[in-house]
Amino acid sequence: MGQVDFAAMREAMVLSQLRTSDVNDGAVIAAMSSVPREDFLPEDRRASAYIDRPVPLGNGRSINPPLATGRLLTIAEIGEGDKVLLLGDATGYSAALLDTMGVDVTVVSEDERPEALQEGVTWVQGKGVEGYAAGAPYDAIVIDGVVPEFPAALTAQLTEGGHVAMGLVERGVTRLVSGRKVNDVIGFASLADMEMAEVPGFEVKRPEFQF
């Protein structure tokens, strides 16, 4: 088998998946054009780095399709120098993109820091559902996949006027969702149906019914 041309695959991803599907933030496009997505995947998964669907990583985890990542970072309306809380990053790839965009990014993950990730990213081992209050407030919160609901505890960690970008399960359908905090309340809007990776640790625990 010949050597895989990842640079050509990355260029094709940008042209056919991103630019045709509302990923129109120049900084996002530039980052996804330059960061080698394959470096953040296990060796036996690298050939699938640029396919347009989630790539299984093992242990019940998957990395988002490139389009989902691009759309999430676009709708978060992130600018250079912003402070961003990133949750659910399965590999460090999304953190690397934000770092390339000049963002002050803090990742909360139960996993260890990926070797491929540069030192400019703050990586905190912990429960994503709890965020990281010590680094708050953040200009944006990005959940890198789909969850059943936005944890209420994270609202206080977002600055007034700050944005949220995530995937949300609504009546069994996975949707791309954006939010904005106004008067200490986050209002959400569904933008599109979209395939995304599930983020573990955000399961909703309802109180047990007692007679």
Domain assignment of residue 199, yes or no: no
Report yes or no on 204 lying in a domain.
no
pLDDT tens per residue across span 178-204 = 999 999 999 999 999 999 999 998 886
Query: 210 lies in a domain?
Result: no
- pLDDT above 60: residue 210: no
Looking at the 3D structure of the chain, how many domains does it have?
1
CATH of residue 20: 3.40.50.150
**Is residue 205 domain-resident?**
no
Range name among 6-15, 45-54, 103-112, 202-211 with the lowest pLDDT average: 202-211
**Residue 161 DSSP class:** E
Region of 43 on the Ramachandran plot (φ > 0 left; ψ -120 to 50 alpha; else beta): alpha
Residue 17 included in any domain:
yes
Mean pLDDT of the chain: 93
The pTM is what? 0.93
Q: Is residue 33 part of a domain?
A: yes
DSSP class of residue 14 equals I
- Please indicate, yes or no, if residue 163 is contained in any of the structural domains: yes
Phi, psi of 121 (to 5 degrees): -95, 135
pLDDT band at 1 (very low <50, low <70, confident <90, very high): very low
* Domain assignment present for 1: no
Supply the range of the domain harboring residue 15: 6-193
| Cβ proximity of 69 and 21 under 8 Å | no
Token pair recorded at residue 35 = 């960061």
Burial group, residue 188, by CB count within 10 angstroms (0-12, 13-18, 19+): middle
